[in-house]
Amino acid sequence: MNYLFTVVCILDSLSCFVVGSVSGTLSKPVLTYDKKPFVGERIRFNCYSRYIGTPSNLSQKIGYKFNYNYRHSMDSFLDITHSEKGKNVSCQASNEIGELSPISNVITLDPYYGPEDITTLPTGSVYNVIEGETVSIVCSAKCYPKCIFVWKYNTDIFRQYRTGSILTIQHVNRSHAGEYRCRADHISDSQRFQRIDRIINVQCRPAKQVAILNGEIFTTLNKKEVVEISVVSDVGPNITWIDETSYTWERTVMDNLKFNYTSFIIAENLSDFGTYGVQICNNNCCIIKFIHLKQMINPDGFRLLDYIVPITGIAAGLFILILVTILLCNRKRHVSHRTIKVAPNVEYKRKPRCHSFEADEPLYENKNTLKVNDHSVEEQTSYENYEHLMADKNYHNEGEYANLRQT
């Protein structure tokens, strides 16, 4: 413990007294913050330490330093972002003579955020629903730790309609048409919220059930195709083509409030292929269905391929056979033209081409003389008296010639 004393004298009274300043041990600081950290806001930290065993009026001034995840600063505030999550904050006290306190308690930042990026699924701002069907819209937003969702319906003002993030309406009727609002409130602060508006349009149903039996037709030019529509309704609706055609719809009444409608469609030109609309109306309520007329490739074209493929295979086989024959012929011709050194008085006779009956005739007019030591002569070559040639090669010098017919 350090002691610092100062003597103060009063000149008028000729008296003096001692003023003391005592520096003791600094306690471990306590770190707190002013409010729960939210992303996008600034929070302030408070660090508190004191001297142990020393009156505060005799203690030196205490200063504080803050540690923001290994970054030291004298600032006691921090601007919160998403990246601050998981970072540690602590503080440490010091006095004028440089004495330090222990490190304070550690606060690990876990900032709240949201609601952000509110949206709905399915996407879109307007939902078209047919009477009697079910509509379901899911509202979502980024929140931590979570948000509370409320759906409201706009009559003259928005009134609470459903709680929860999912709005589901079964057996929709025309009274359900209108504007709906989803509001997301942060669970810790209702003043933090986002909202989004969606519109539901309710379309009338001219029939309980409408089924197109052949909505996609593959056909060729100038071929009349039948189109059939089955309708279940209390009253048979009126069906017409939206596009101009020369055909009308004929109705057949079936059992159990079921009606069958039949018409025709034909493509006289390539431009006639495409999508045709059919309007179904009942009690001033109409819906539109579509017929897709598509061009089909001529089946004769597929049968032609059945002949082209085998013919192509036969042609390929013949080509390979001819190619192999040419290669073999060239190889035999190459062997027959090998150069062999002969005696000066030996006349060379050109070997005939392959597949000739003259191919087996000897290559020399005079078979009696041959250069003995010519190593280009191979044992496999057929000559008369070849045994004599081998004997002469062993006894004659290079450059000499022997009569192969001598015994």
Domains of the chain with CATH codes: 24-108 (2.60.40.10), 113-203 (2.60.40.10), 209-295 (2.60.40.10), 337-407 (no CATH)
The first and second tokens of residue 113, run together, are 């955020």
Could you tell me if 209 and 232 are in contact, meaning their C-beta atoms sit under 8 angstroms apart? yes
117: Cβ contacts below 8 Å, ≥ 6 apart? 141, 142
Q: How far is CA 120 from the centre of its chain?
A: 23
Could you tell me if 116 and 144 are in contact, meaning their C-beta atoms sit under 8 angstroms apart? no
User: What rounded mean pLDDT belongs to the chain?
Assistant: 78
The first and second tokens of residue 166, run together, are 């999912």
Report how far apart, in Å, the C-alpha atoms of 346 and of each of 9, 314, 366 are: 150, 51, 6
Whole-angstrom distance between the N-terminal and C-terminal Cα of the chain?
138
Q: Which amino acid is at 270?
A: L
**Maximum distance among all Cα pairs of the chain, rounded to whole angstroms:** 167
pLDDT tens across 183-227, in order? Answer: 999 999 999 999 999 999 988 877 878 888 888 999 999 999 999
How far apart (Å, rounded) are the C-alpha atoms in residues 208 and 236? 11
How far apart (Å, rounded) are the C-alpha atoms in residues 43 and 112? 12
- 243 beta partners: none
pLDDT value at position 335?
A: 57
Using a 10 angstrom Cβ sphere, with 0-12 exposed, 13-18 middle and 19 or more buried, the burial of residue 18 is: exposed
The first and second tokens of residue 241, run together, are 């083509």
pLDDT tens across 29-66, in order? Answer: 999 999 999 999 999 999 999 888 765 555 678 999 99
Find where tokens 């005939």 sit. 352
The first and second tokens of residue 358, run together, are 């003259």
Quick one: average pLDDT of 138-142?
96
* Residue 140 pLDDT grade (very low, low, confident, very high; cuts 50, 70, 90): very high
Could you tell me if 109 and 136 are in contact, meaning their C-beta atoms sit under 8 angstroms apart? no
How far apart (Å, rounded) are the C-alpha atoms in residues 290 and 375? 92
